[in-house]
Structure 1
Amino acid sequence: MTTSAVAQLQAEVTRLRHELSTIKAHEQAPESSETIFVGQYLVERLVQLGVTKMFGVPGDFNLGFLDFVEDHSKIEWVGNCNELNAAYAADGYARVKKGSLGVLTTTFGVGELSAMNGIAGAFSEHVPIVHIVGVPSTSQQKNKPMLHHTLGDGRYDAYYRAATQFTIAAASLQAKETAAAEIDRVLTECLVMARPVYLMVPTDLAYERIPSYRLKTPINAEPPQNDPDVEEFALDEIVKLVETAEQDAIILVDACAIRHNVIDEVSELVKRTGFPVYAAPMGKTAVDEAYERYGGIYVGSISHPDIKEKVESAKLILSIGALKSDFNTGNFTYHIPASRTVELHSDHTTVQYAEFPGIGMKRLLPKLTARLQPFRDDARELSVPPFVFPVPTEDTDIITQSWLWPRMGQFFRQKDIIVAETGTSSFGVLEVPFPTGAMFVSQILWGSIGWTVGSTLGVAMAGQDLGYKRTILFIGDGSLQLTVQELSVMIRSGVTPIIFVLNNRGYTIERYLHGMERKYNDISNWKWTHLLNTLGGEEGKTCQSHLVRNKAELSALLDDTTFASANKIQLVEMLMDPRDAPSALKRQAELSGKTNRYVAELPSGIGEAV
C-alpha cells in the first residue's frame, strides 16, 4: 500500500472516530417530548456556533426557510445583490470569525450555481462555509416534473453532484427522521476540516417537526485526538533534529495556521522558544508583526535578500500550516529541502521524509512548545533582521507603489482589518509591518478578482462582532468593477469600511503577466467618487468620497482625524501610473510569465484582418 493510501485511510479512521464520539454524546442526551421544525433546528445550530449573519439571495425554494431566519432574534439576514457576492461575504465573515463559520443561502439551480465560484475559492483556501440551498419538495424530487430552475431533463441531482466537487461534505435532506443527524454531520465536518459543506433543504421538509433534544449537546468542533504513541515518537524525532541543528532553527508560519485556528498555539511556541519566526504571504498576521523575533515575509526567490538568506540558511525549518501555491512561494522557488524541514498540518505531521498521518498540529503544538522551551536561551542568540519598510524620499509627487505602501503602514492601527485584492494591492501590502492585533485578509491562492468587495462586507460585520475598529480595503479599479454592487449592501447595513481604489486604468497585474499594451487589459474609467451616492448613500452624511491626485493630497487625507475615525463608509480614488507596480509583483510576474510560456512577441501582421 502506498504512503498516500495509508494517509487517506488513517484520515478516514480518524474522521469516523470523531463522528462516533459525537453520536455517543447524542445518545447520552435525554430525549424530551419537545419538537421543533427542521428549518428552526438548522438555524438554532448556527446560532449555537456563534453565527450572527446569514448571507444570500432569496428565491422561491428558500423563502419558507428564510422566515425562520428573519424571525430569530440572534441571527440577521443580509440580502446580497447576487449569489457570487454573497459567497464572497460568507468567506470574509468566516475568515475573521475564528471558531465559527460563514453561512450562505441560495435557491435551487440558478442561485447555487452563481455562488459556486465563491464556494470553490473557500474550498481552495480552507475556509468553513455552510452553503444552504432551498430545493423543490421531496415529492417533486421523486416525480421530477419540469420545474423552473431545472435542466429540463429530470436530473434533480445535477447541482448536488457538481457541489460535491467543491465541498468537504454534502447532505440532501430527504426524511425528518435523519434530518437533525445529517445537519449535525455536515456542520461538524465544516468546522473540523475548515472547508465548505453543502446542505439541500426541501421546501416541505423545512416545515416537518422533529425532536429538539439533540440541541442540548453542542457540536463537537474539536479536532480528533492524536494517537499518543505516534505523537510521542514524532515529538522525539523533532527534538532530535533541533539538537542536531544546534538550535539553528526558524519557524515559518502559513495560511493553515490561521484557517485551522492554531494562532494561540503558534504564539506560545514562538514566544516560549525564542526561535526566529517568519511568515508566508498567506500567513501574514498569523504572528504579531511587532514582535521582536519576527523577521518578515518569506516568498522564495522574490523575498527581501536578508529574509531569504536567514530562512534558507537555517539548519532546520519548522513549517506550520503550509500552503505551497505559486503566488505563496515565489512561483515554487522555496529553497528549503525536505531534509531540513518539519511540517505541521491540521491532519498530519511530516518530519523530513517521514509522514505521520492523523497527527494534527492543534494538539501537537502545545506539547512541542513544552519540549522545545529549554532551547530558548540558545535560540535567542540567533539574529533576526528588523522587519521595517521606511517611506522613501522621492523626487516626484506622483503616488508611486514604492511610496504608497510604507506610507499606508503609518496609517494602520491596532485592531484594523486590512483587506487586499489579489494583484497590485496584495503584493504591495505584504512588506508593510502591521501593528499588534491587526489582521490581514486576502485571497492569494484562488485569486478571483473582485473577491474582496463581497468579502469586505462579511469581514466588516464579523469585525463588529469581535471589536475590531476599522476595516480597510485596497482594490484596483478593474477588480472593483466586477462586484461593485455590494457597496450598496454595505451602505444599507451600516458598516463603514474605508475603500482605497487604485485607479491605474486597467488590470496592472495582467499587464505585467502578459500584454502590457494590449486592449484586453484596459477598462472603462468610471466616475468613482459618484459611486457611493449612486448606490444609496448620502454624500457627506452616510458616506464620503475623496479624489487624491498626488502624495501631498493623500498624506493630508490620511492625517485627517475625521477621515481616520471611519465613522461612515468612505471611498478614496487614487490616481496612479498604469505601468507602476510593487517590486514583488514584477518579480512574480516575470517568473509566472516564464512558467506560462507565452510567445514573447507575435510576428508583425499576425492577428490582423487580411
Structure 2
Amino acid sequence: MSTISLATYIFWRIKQIGVDTIFGVPGDFNLSFLDHIDEVDGLRWAGNANELNAAYSADGYSRIKGFAAICTTFGVGELSATNGVAGAYAEHVGLIHIVGGPTVNAEEHKLLLHHTLANGKFNIFKDMSKNITVKAVSIEDIATAPAVVDDLIRTGYVYKRPVYLVVPSNFSEAQVPASLLRRPIDLSLPPNEPLAEKEFIEHVIKKIVRAKNPCILVDACAARHDVKNSVEALVKATQFPVYVTPMGKSAFNEDSPRFSGVYVGALSKPDVKESLENSDLILSIGGLLSDYNTGAFTYHYHTTNVVEFHSDFCKVRSAVYMGIQMQTALSKIIRGLAEVDLKYTPTPIPASVSEYKSVQQITSGKLTQQYLWYKLSYFLRAGDIVVAETGTSSFGILQAHYPAGVTAISQVLWGSIGYALPSSIGAAFAAEEIDRSKRVILFIGDGSLQLTVQAISDAFRQHLHPYLFVLNNKGYTIEKMIHGLHAEYNNIQPWDHKKILELFHYKDDYEYLKVGTVEEMNKLYKDPEFNKPTKLRLIELMLDEFDAPKNLIEQARLSEIINSGKE
C-alpha cells in the first residue's frame, strides 16, 4: 500500500519502538482510532476497566519495557487518567497519552458537545495536560501529522516523561505515506556540549583519584534513564562502596560485594548512615531527593565533595553543567579511569547489609512485618519484578535483599495510594512479552487494594499470572502512623478477600491463600508449584493492625512534624 491511515501509522510507530500493548478505555471519540490496532501485527489492546488503572498500568509497563501507550477519549476519559500520567511525569516514566477528540469542524463551530464544559473551549483539557507532560499537541494538518507523531514519541522515549497527543476523530482515517514507516525514529540522545563535558569529566576523574573514603549513591533515575550497566562498570573500575536510595533499590546489584545498603538519611541503619556520611567524595547518580526518599530531608553529608549525575545536567559542588547528560558522561569517565592510577583500597561494607539472614533462625510464631520482609529475600529469584505499594510495603521491602536481576517498582515520590496493583498488572503485560516465566510479585495493603481492585479484572482478561500479596492490617496503617492512630477516617470497610478472584476470574485459573504464621509462610515459599507463575494468586497476609516497619514509624513521625509546619 502506498498510503495508510494516520491511526495505523501511529500504532506502527509505537510498535516499532518495542511497545506491544496499548492501555486504555474506549469512548466514542476514539472508537474509529482503535479500529486500527488489529492492523499492526503483534499489537494488542489491554482493555482496562477504567482510565486511572490504564494510566497506572502504562506506568508499570514502561518501567519494564522503556515506554508505554495509553488511549482515552476526550474530556471525561483523559481527565480520569491524569493522576496516573502526573505520577509518570514526576517519576521520569516515558509514555504517550493519545486522546481521541472531536472533529476539527466541531471545534471550529464551538458545538455544544458531550464531554465538554459547555463553554466552547476545546483546548482546555490539553492545556491542563501541558503541566504534566513534556509536550502536548493536537493534530491539525494531515501533511505534518507523521512528523508530529515521530517527534512526540522520540521526546517521550528519550527524556522518559509523558507526552500528549489529540487525534480528532476525522483524522483517524486520513491517509499518510506508508513509506515513512521505513525510516526508524531516532531514539539517540542529543550530544553533550564538548568543552563543558570535557571539563566536567576532568574534574570528576581528579576527585576520584584523590578520594580516600569515597562512595557511590544510586537513585531512581539511574534505572529510569538506563545507566545501570554504567554504574556496574564504574564500580568495577573503582571498587567504591555502593549505596542505594529507596527509589534506587534494584538499580544496583545487591549480590555485589560492594553493595553497602540502603541510605535514607536519618532512617538508615546506623552503620550505613555513618559510613556514607563520613565519605570524602559522593558520586550521586540519578538523584530524586524527595521527602520519603531522603528520610524527610535528613541527608547530612560531612563533605562538600558531591558530584551529581542527572539526565539533563551534571554538577560538581556548586558548578552546574547544564545539558551534560549522565549517560554519555559516565561512559567517558569509565574509559578515562582506565588511564589513571587508582590507589583506593576497598573498605568493608556495613554489617547490617546481612541482617536479613537472621530470619533463618525464626521457625515459628505469628507473621510480623520484620519476618515478612526478611523472608522475602529467600523467595525472590533473578528476573523477578517486585512491586510495592506506598505504605508499609514500600518501607518494609527496603529490608529485603534483592538477588541480581530483580527489578523493583514503587512510587515513592508521587505516592498515589492504589498505584501498585494496576502498575503490577502493567508490568505483568510487559513481563509476558519478554519471558512468560518471569514472575511479577505485588505487595499491597488492604486499604490501597480497594482503590484500584478492578485491575485484577484486567489481568484475568489477558490471562496474566501475577502474585498479589495483600497485607491485611485493618486499614491505612501508614496514615495511622502519621496522624490519627485510632481515627475513624483511617479505617476501611473490611472485605472478604477470598471472594475477589471468584468475582473476576470468568473461567480462568486462580488461587486464594491465607497466611498468618511463620510456619504457613515457610511452607508456602517451599512449595515448588507456588514458585511457578502458572495462575493468578492472591495471598492474604494477616498482620497486626499497628505492626509497622521501624523506618515507617520514624518517617511517619517526621512527616507529621513537617505537615504541622513545626519543622
Q: Does the Cα contact within 8 Å between 2:24 and 2:54 map onto a contact in 1?
A: yes
1:40 to partner: Cα distance? 1.1
Counterpart residue number, 2:532: 565
Spell out, residue by residue over 1:200-247, the C-alpha distance to the aligned partner (whole angstroms, 9 max, x if none): 00111111112233322211111111122211111111122223323x
Picking from 495, 501, 521, the partner of 1:532 is: 501
Letter in 1 for 2:224: R
Q: In the alignment, is the contact (CA less than 8 A) between 1:422 and 1:444 conserved in 2?
A: yes
Corresponding residue to 1:519 among 472, 485, 488:
488
Provide the residue aligned with 2:265 in structure 1: 300
Q: Which residue of 2 aligns with 1:60?
A: 28
Shift of 1:171: 1.1
Aligned counterparts of 1:381 and 1:321: Cα–Cα separation in 2: 23
Q: 1:118 aligns with which of 59, 62, 84?
A: 84
Is residue 546 of structure 1 aligned with residue 508 of structure 2?
no
Does the aligned pair in 2 maintain the 1:256–1:322 contact within 8 Å? Answer: yes
Counterpart residue number, 1:173: 139
Aligned pairs for 1:11-26 within 5 A: none
Where does 1:181-580 land on structure 2 (aligned, <5 Å)? 181-246=147-212, 248-336=213-301, 339-373=304-338, 378-386=343-351, 387-388=353-354, 389-392=356-359, 397-467=365-435, 469-538=438-507, 542-580=509-547
Looking at structure 1, the residues matched to 518 and 257 of structure 2 have their Cα atoms a distance apart, in angstroms, of 31
Mapped to 1, the partners of 2:208 and 2:193 lie a distance apart of: 23
Q: Is the 8 A contact 1:80 1:489 kept in 2?
A: yes
| Structure 1 contact 38–209 (Cα < 8 Å) conserved | yes
* Distance in 2, Cα, partners of 1:154 & 1:111: 18
Greater shift, 332-341 or 525-534, is seen at 332-341
Distance 1:501 1:148 in 2: 40
Unaligned residue ranges in structure 2 (runs of 5+): none
Q: Render the CA deviation track for 1:29-74: whole Å, top value 9, x for unaligned.
A: xxxx922211111111101111100000000100111011133222
Q: Distance in 1 between matches of 2:344 and 2:417?
A: 42
Which one of 95, 108, 121 corresponds to residue 74 of structure 2? 108
Given the two structures, how large is their TM-score scaled by the length of structure 1? 0.90
Matched with 1:592 is 559
The answer on whether the counterparts of 2:287 and 2:310 sit within 8 Å (CA) in structure 1 is yes
CA distance in 1, matches of 2:319, 2:377: 42
Find the residue that maps to 2:172 and give its secondary structure.
helix
| Cα separation, 2, equivalents of 1:376 and 1:134 | 59
Does structure 2 conserve the Cα–Cα contact (< 8 Å) formed by 1:338 and 1:353?
no
Q: Which moved more, 1:373-382 or 1:114-123?
A: 373-382
One-letter amino acid of the structure 2 residue matched with residue 593 of structure 1: E
Contact 1:272–1:376 (8 Å) recurs in 2: no
CA 1:373–1:518 in structure 2 vs 1: closer, same or farther (change >3 Å)? farther
| TM-score, with length taken from structure 2 | 0.96
Match of 1:7 in 2: none
Residues 380 and 52 of structure 1: CA distance in aligned 2, closer, same or farther (over 3 Å) = farther
Q: Offset of 1:193 from its aligned partner?
A: 1.1
Q: Secondary structure at the match of 2:480?
A: helix
**Cα 1:396/1:590, change in 2 over 3 Å:** farther
User: Any conservation in 1 of the 2:93–2:162 contact (CA below 8 Å)?
Assistant: yes
Structure 2 CA distance for aligned equivalents of residues 60 and 471 of structure 1: 34
- Alpha-carbon RMSD across the aligned residues, in angstroms, is 1.7
The question of whether the paired residues in 2 share the 8 Å contact of 1:37 and 1:207 is answered with: yes
Query: Which amino acid letter does the alignment assign opposite residue 476 of structure 1?
Result: G
- Cα distance per residue 1:324-354 (max 9 Å; x no partner): 0000001111112672200011111100110
Superposed displacement of residue 306, structure 1: 1.2
Say which is worse superposed, 472-481 or 545-554, in terms of deviation.
545-554
The answer to whether the Cα contact below 8 Å between 1:65 and 1:134 also exists between their aligned partners in 2 is: yes
AA in 2 matched with 1:578: E
Q: Which runs of 4+ in 1 moved over 6 A?
A: none
How far apart, CA to CA, are the structure 1 residues paired with 2:565 and 2:476? 18
